[in-house]
Amino acid sequence: MTSQEHSYYASFGHASNNVLDGLNMFDGTDGHYFHTGSRRHHSMWDSRLFNYGSWDVLRYLLSNARWWLEEYKFDGYIFDGVTSIMYIHHGL
């Protein structure tokens, strides 16, 4: 993948819309890690939205970040879409 393609690809890597992939149906429901109802979908990114108000979600995301730091010795992160995390209206 060339560097030009990489910047385009990253905007679609948030959470799969396919409910059978990854965390979407982790425990048999679709609301364990993600919002449900009208807040479940980000219209601009066409992706699911993590429920950052849940301790399970925060633990999962922070443990994932820690694993990448320890395993691959990363020296930092770039956070894309911070307004989507901070605001209920997702910065739209």
Give the model confidence (pLDDT) of 20-71 as tens digits: 666 666 677 777 788 888 777 777 877 788 888 899 999 999 999 999 999 9
Cβ(11)–Cβ(2) below 8 Å: no
72: in domain:
yes
47: in domain:
yes
pTM for the model? 0.65
92: in domain:
no
Q: Which residues contact 50 (CB under 8 A, 6 or more apart)?
A: 15, 33, 34, 35, 57, 61
Q: What domain range includes position 18?
A: 3-86
23: in domain:
yes
91: in domain:
no
9: in domain:
yes
Distance CA(92)–CA(83), nearest Å, equals 9
Q: How many domains does the chain have?
A: 1
34: in domain:
yes
